[in-house]
Amino acid sequence: MVRNWAKEAYRDIFRRRAKVEGFRSRAAYKLLEANKRFRLIKEGDIVVELGAWPGGMTQAASRLVGETGLVIAVDVRKFKAFSESNVITIQSDILEEDTTIKILQVLNGKLVDVVVSDASPRFTGVRDVDISRQIELTEKSYNISLKLVKRGGSIMLKALECRELQLLEEQLRTSFNYVKRFIPSATRKTSSEIYLVGLKRY
């Protein structure tokens, strides 16, 4: 009991840190930790984030790419305006085909260095339903990334711990040299979320 409380208190630190450091959510620290481990994003990169609302991870990406980089944040929900000048937002559902077209229009012929997906469904509490919906979002994010990510680029996709996870990994291995599972420290103890990281696209 004490150990569980300590772990949850540790994770709550990220929520407090986010407020102090100006991030909209603890998700910022998930990306920062992933970047420290995998070196996904560097200064000057173009990053597309899918399922980006409310924007904590977007802000982290903005800091990582710097003034010479660009972050395109996509979500079906409307964003509160960002103060960061290197962030462009697109309000669109990633499950709709025209979302990819909107992203490509913003890119104007360029390919991106990294696609990050933090997309989650509205959870019902019914595990099989929630897993099915999350898999749909993860697979869609992966398919979008194949149209956007340049050779040598990387992806980081949110998923859930489930039987189907291995199949998702196998999909990623058809396009990326290295595929890793990653559970950030900022993930809540009660969550079964996990990220699939694909490095160095063929």
Classify the phi-psi angles of 123: left when phi > 0, otherwise alpha if psi is within -120 to 50, otherwise beta. beta
Give pLDDT tens digits for 41-66.
Answer: 999 999 999 999 999 999 999 999 99
Q: Mind telling me the catalytic residues?
A: 158
Predicted confidence at residue 2, as pLDDT, reads 43
| CB-based contact 145:46 (threshold 8 Å) | no
Mean pLDDT of 112-119: 99
Break the chain into its structural domains and give their ranges: 2-201
C-beta atoms surrounding 161 within 10 Å: 12
Mean pLDDT of 2-26: 70
Give pLDDT tens digits for 168-191.
Answer: 999 999 999 999 999 999 887 788
Distances (CA, A) of 147 to 80, 108, 151, 197: 28, 13, 11, 17
What share of the chain in percent tops pLDDT 90? 82
Give pLDDT tens digits for 15-38.
Answer: 788 878 778 999 999 999 999 999
As a whole number, the mean pLDDT across the chain is 93
Respond yes or no on whether the N-terminal peptide bond of residue 184 is cis (omega within 30° of 0). no
Predicted confidence at residue 1, as pLDDT, reads 43
Predicted confidence at residue 11, as pLDDT, reads 52
CATH code at 2-201: 3.40.50.150
